[in-house]
Every structure is written in C-alpha cells, then in structure tokens.
C-alpha cells in the first residue's frame, strides 16, 4: 500500500468517526473507534498466522458459505481434540490467541445482520483479550470502552443497534484497503492525531506531534558519544516516563529499524488510564510483541513503579535512551522528604509551581552513563530563577547539558508557547553547550505551525556535527555561560537580528549627483516644449 493509500485509509476512518459519533463527545468516540481498529488488527494478524500454521488444513473461505462462520471457527468445530495444541503453538509464534467468536470478521457479521448478541459478544471478547489472549495479562485494556453507556443508547437493543451501525460502517470503510500491520498502525496514528487536533489542551495528555517526535528520536538513536559516526546498532532499552499514546517510543523504534538497528525492550509510564490503554494498544498494533515492551500505569513524580525503585545496584534499571514530553509547568506537591529522594538529592527539588525539572531529573537519574536523553520543556526552564536556577547551575557544572534547541511557537495542539529540547548526557565530551535556534524556521499553518523534513534534517545534522551557523547555531564555552549566571536563554548566545548593510557614502553621493543631472536635463526638455507652445518656462 502506498503512503497516499495509508493516508486515505486514515481519512476514510476519520470521516466514518465524524459521521457516526453524533452527539457523543469526540474523546469518548475515540476510544470506541481505536478499540475496534485494534481488534481488526489483532484478528487479521492472528488469522494470517493460523493460515501459516495449519497450511492445507486451513479451511477454504470460499467453501464455507455464508452464515457468519470463519475458516478458523470451522476448523475449531471439526478438530476439537487439536485445539489445545494449536493454541499452544499460536502462543509461541503469534504471541497471543483469540477464539473464533471474538475475531473481527465474526463481529462484523453480527453487526451486518443486526444480531442481538453483538454487544454481549463484544463484552466477552474484550474481557477474553484482557485476561487470556496474551502471556502478559492486559487487565483493563478496554476499561474505558463502556459498552453499557447511555451515550450508545438507553436500552440494550438501542446500544446493540448503535454498535451494529458503527462496526458495519468501519468495516465498509476499510474494505477497499489492504490492512497490514504498518497500514493499520499508520491509520491508528492518524486518528490519534485527528482526535488530538479536536481536543485542544487535552491533546497534550496523549499526543506528541510527529515532527517533534522525529527530532527527539533522531537525537537519541545517534551514537551518544560520537554522533558524527551515525546511528547506533542497538539500544538495549528506551524509556519514556510520560509516554502518552506511545508514539514517541514507536518513533524511536521505527528510526532504529530504518537504520538497520534494533531495540531490546521498550519501557513507558503513563498516569492517565485512558492514555495508558491507548499506548498498550498502539504498541501491539505496530507489531511490538507483548514480550518486547512494558507500559506502567502510575505517577512518575511519585515514582510509584516498584521496579524503578530497585535498591539492588546490580538490578537497578538504567536506560540507553530516555525521551519525554512531560506536562509543561505542572503543579506538584513535593514533601519534606522529597529532598532525600535519590532522583533529586544531588541537584535539588523543583518548585511546586513547575515540575519541569522534577521530570527532567527523574529521567536523568535512570539514564545510563553512556546514554542520551532528549526532553521537551517550556522555555522557562532556561532562565527562571530560584530553585530552578540552582538546579540548572548544578546540571551545567556537572557537565550534563549537551544541547539546547529552541523550536517555533504553536507546534502543539495543547499550547501555543514556544518550547525547547534539552539534550542531556552523563558523560559528555565537549566542554561547551551547543545552542540551536530553530524558532524562526517553520511553515505557518492554519491551526499549528509545521516543521518540514528539511527543517528537521537541519536541526538533526547541526546537532550531529555540532556545526556553527550565523544566527542559527553556536557552541558556547562553559565560562561564557557561567559569566551569564548559567542563564540558558538562547537569545543571549545567538542573535537572529540581520546585520545592517554597510553604506558606501561616496557611491550614494555619486548616485545623487547623477539623479540631479537627469532632473536638470528633463527640466530643460520640458521648458523647450513649453516655449514652442508660447508658455512661460518652469522656474
């Protein structure tokens, strides 16, 4: 499928969503839409794996006839004694199992025939996937999908009929497209983006625009100590402690794959239950096996993931790469004992009014010595005083801040403020900080400004080579930063003002004299015409 077809599938599904949600809030309908797309992916992938596993024993779909039976349901009915062994093989090869009654094609048949058991079947199917399909339990994966909601209808028949309509339209919209994992994954990302666009400030809870995600993923996949040498061959582990729908982590994975490398395991943490479920679905839908990722539902600032708080140094988790787009200037409630928290003990505790540095220090704490961290933050972290100035000074004196990248305003759905990317390393080599001012390089859009591939490539190439360009990038020695009281405001180090053009006074004088001569000549010709007409000359 071409890229245009992939985008068209996303647009088709978005149009279906827009038509069908009626009075339902877009955020509510998003959960239904994305869950059904997820079920379609799991079913297609599972049936393809079953076809390979059973070979010639897989029933011919054309010989089954109508009636809602799927090839797999026919095989189950004809081979009851072999089902257990078959499912054991499927768990080994496909990493999950779905019973025939819960496969998408059977659900679509129930929808198209307005079957009264569709709603009940869906409820059972969702519960089965959460509790039995995978080796890892995905408890609560569909917890935000309320199939008993009055928003679907007041009575069971009303809700059942509404679901029949929604699923039938989704199936009709997808029928004209082939639906491999990449295609459905792209459609899922497209829909998340479209729902984010309509969610305003709430979009910040679950979505990092792809253009910004591309910059961060490019940075952390380069060799952390010698970025000029190009991408790493492998990242053992990647961590996003405010992972939202997981798009940033997936972007890192995609970039590593494109470069011929690989990622050992992906880790994410998310406090919002709805977004946490989106992230888990997003991972599976993009072909990340359940053994290749772990997403934790919990509060990053409270550090309530027991695994992260491991006290045994030999088992203490550390990551090759950390990426994050945490909530901007989030108000939090540090306690008296927070100052003794291992994450903040060396650098200080961020103020209650803005947890930006608390998030940053959390990620830095779990970064390997040779790792790299890229985090999106508001510009205030570069220059605000008080406790933040103390933390910033300590980070600089310890040599952890490698690069500061200023981005244009209005890139996010959730806020119009300009943001920056801080790149941090525990053992960076250069005794300077690279500043990149990309704030004036963008395409203005109707709702959000856009970064083109050229804009992104220039930022990444400048970071990789630590290049200096007039009014764009500069390597600033630590002493100069210290002389500026460790203020990292980009405008202190890179001026975007255009230099005034030098004026050649002699050339200007000569040009004025030439203009005077031309005026005199024109005046003489004009007076000659006036004399021929018997009119007085001009003075």
pLDDT band at residue 74, thresholds of 50, 70 and 90?
Answer: very high
Give the number of C-alpha atoms closer than 13 A to the C-alpha of residue 532, restricted to the C-beta side: 6
Q: What is the pLDDT of residues 10-30, one digit of tens each?
A: 677 777 777 666 667 767 777
Percent of the chain exceeding pLDDT 70 equals: 91
Mean pLDDT score of the chain, rounded to an integer? 87
CATH superfamily, region 206-492: Vaccinia Virus protein VP39 (3.40.50.150)
Q: Which of 32-46, 54-68, 212-226, 264-278 is least confident?
A: 54-68
Q: Which CATH class is domain 3-198?
A: mainly alpha
In the chain, where the domains are located: 3-198, 206-492, 505-539
DSSP state of 450: B
DSSP state of 470: T
In the beta sheet, which residues pair with residue 234? 262
pTM of the model: 0.84
Signed CA dihedral, 507, 511, 516, 518: sign only: positive
Strands (E), 360-439: 367-378, 401-406, 419-424, 432-437
Tokens for 126, please give them. 């969702």
Of 182, 204, 180, 175, nearest to 192 (Cα)?
204
Of 170, 149, 153, nearest to 161 (Cα)?
153
Distance CA 130, CA 127 (A): 5
Which residues, including other chains, have CB under 8 Å from residue 511's CB and lie 6 or more apart? Answer: none
Of 62, 88, 91, nearest to 74 (Cα)?
62
pLDDT of residue 6: 54
DSSP state of 348: -
pLDDT tops 70 at residue 198: no
CA distances from 490 to 421, 436, 495 (A): 12, 8, 8
pLDDT of residue 322: 98
User: Per residue in 84-110, is it b (16+ CB within 10 Å) or e — as a string?
Assistant: eebbeebeeebbbbbbbbbbbbbbbbb
CA distances from 317 to 236, 368, 401 (A): 11, 9, 22
In the beta sheet, which residues pair with residue 269? 296
If you write DSSP's letter for every residue of 313-330 in order, what string do you get?
Answer: TTT---EEEEEE-PPTT-
pLDDT of residue 156: 95
Of 226, 231, 240, 284, nearest to 262 (Cα)?
231
């Amino acid at each position: 499928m071409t890229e245009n077809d992939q985008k068209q599938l996303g647009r088709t599904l978005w149009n279906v969503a827009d038509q069908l949600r009626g009075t339902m809030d877009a955020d509510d309908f998003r959960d239904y839409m994305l869950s059904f797309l997820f079920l379609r992916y799991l079913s297609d992938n599972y049936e393809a794996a079953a076809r390979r596993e059973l070979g010639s024993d897989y029933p011919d779909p054309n010989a089954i006839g109508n009636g809602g039976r799927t090839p797999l349901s026919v095989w189950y009915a004809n081979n009851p004694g072999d089902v257990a062994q078959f499912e054991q093989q499927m768990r080994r090869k496909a990493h999950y199992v779905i019973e025939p009654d819960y496969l998408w094609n059977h659900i679509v048949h129930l929808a198209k025939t307005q079957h009264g058991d569709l709603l009940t079947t869906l409820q059972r199917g969702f519960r089965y996937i959460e509790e039995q399909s995978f080796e890892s339990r995905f408890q609560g994966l569909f917890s935000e999908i309320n199939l008993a909601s009055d928003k679907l209808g007041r009575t069971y028949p009303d809700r059942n009929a509404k679901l029949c309509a929604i699923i039938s339209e989704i199936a009709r919209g997808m029928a004209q497209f082939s639906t491999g994992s990449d295609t459905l994954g792209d459609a899922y990302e497209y829909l998340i983006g479209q729902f984010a666009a309509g969610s305003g400030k709430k979009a910040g809870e679950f979505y990092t625009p792809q253009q910004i995600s591309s910059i961060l993923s490019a940075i952390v996949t380069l060799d952390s100590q010698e970025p000029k040498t190009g991408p790493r061959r492998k990242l053992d582990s990647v961590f996003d402690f405010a992972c939202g729908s997981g798009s940033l982590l997936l972007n890192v994975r995609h970039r590593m794959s494109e470069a011929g490398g690989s990622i050992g395991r992906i880790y994410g943490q998310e406090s919002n239950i709805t977004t946490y479920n989106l992230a888990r679905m997003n991972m599976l839908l993009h072909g990340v096996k359940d053994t290749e990722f772990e997403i934790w539902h919990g509060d990053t600032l409270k550090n309530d993931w027991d695994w992260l708080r491991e006290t045994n140094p030999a088992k203490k988790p550390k990551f090759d790469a950390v990426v994050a787009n945490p909530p901007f200037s989030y108000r939090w409630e540090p306690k008296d004992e927070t100052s003794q928290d291992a994450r903040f003990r060396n650098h200080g505790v961020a103020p209650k009014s803005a947890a930006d540095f608390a998030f940053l220090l959390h990620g830095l704490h779990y970064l390997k010595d040779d790792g790299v961290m890229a985090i999106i933050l508001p510009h205030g972290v570069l220059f605000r005083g008080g406790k933040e100035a103390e933390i910033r000074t300590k980070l600089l004196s310890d040599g952890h801040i490698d690069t500061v990248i200023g981005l244009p305003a209005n890139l996010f759905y959730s806020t119009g403020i300009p943001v920056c990317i801080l790149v941090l390393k525990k053992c960076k080599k250069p005794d300077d900080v690279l500043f990149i001012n990309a704030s004036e390089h963008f395409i203005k859009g109707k709702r959000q400004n856009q970064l083109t591939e050229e804009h992104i490539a220039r930022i990444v190439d400048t970071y990789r080579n630590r290049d200096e360009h007039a009014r764009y990038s500069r390597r600033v020695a630590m002493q100069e930063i210290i002389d500026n009281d460790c203020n990292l405001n980009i405008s202190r180090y890179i001026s975007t003002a255009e230099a005034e053009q030098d004026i050649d006074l002699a050339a200007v004088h000569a040009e004025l004299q030439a203009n005077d001569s031309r005026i005199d000549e024109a005046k003489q010709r004009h007076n000659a015409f006036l004399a021929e007409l018997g009119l007085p000359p001009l003075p």
